[in-house]
Amino acid sequence: MPQRRPPSRRRSPKVTYTVAAAALWGLAVAGLVALTDWTFYAAWLAGGSAVTLLLYAFDKSQSRAGGGRVPELVLQGLALLGGVAGGWLGMLGVRHKTRHAPFWVIMVLATILHLGIAWWLYRG
């Protein structure tokens, strides 16, 4: 009778990068709220954008080195959750994912979403 291998304990890259991004984002927001007089939403956008840009740059370096990649779903999700400025900087500044049409669509939708939220929160 062949031996069965035990199930792998490794997390999927989606889970790993999502948990890491959430932790970094939370630390960034907490630091910005504690150290500045920014509103929570402004700190949320800035912290999320920093984390999103960091993961775009990391994924670009992994792409060049042939290493483990950040799943596209994670990068797109970060932009939609508020890392939109970092997503744009990652796409245009780092020149990453610029040939992928779904990223352009997600970035435009995220921009519209967060401009709308900012307008709603800060109108008159």
Which domain range does residue 106 map to? 13-122
pLDDT tens digits, one per residue of 74-105: 999 999 999 999 999 999 999 888 888 999 99
Q: Is the pLDDT score of 124 beyond 70?
A: no
Contacts of 48 (CB under 8 A, 6+ apart): 25, 28, 29, 78, 81, 82, 83, 84, 86
Q: How far apart are CA 51 and CA 83, in angstroms?
A: 7
DSSP 99-113: T-HHHHHHHHHHHHH
35 belongs to a structural domain: yes
Total domains, the chain: 1
pLDDT tens digits, one per residue of 104-120: 999 999 999 999 999 99
Q: CA nearest 54: which of 31, 28, 80?
A: 28
8 belongs to a structural domain: no
Q: Where is 49: in which H helix or E strand?
A: helix 40-65
22 belongs to a structural domain: yes
Contact 106, 113 (CB under 8 A): no
pLDDT tens digits, one per residue of 32-91: 999 999 999 999 999 999 999 999 999 999 999 999 999 999 999 999 999 999 999 999
Check residue 16 and give its pLDDT: 95
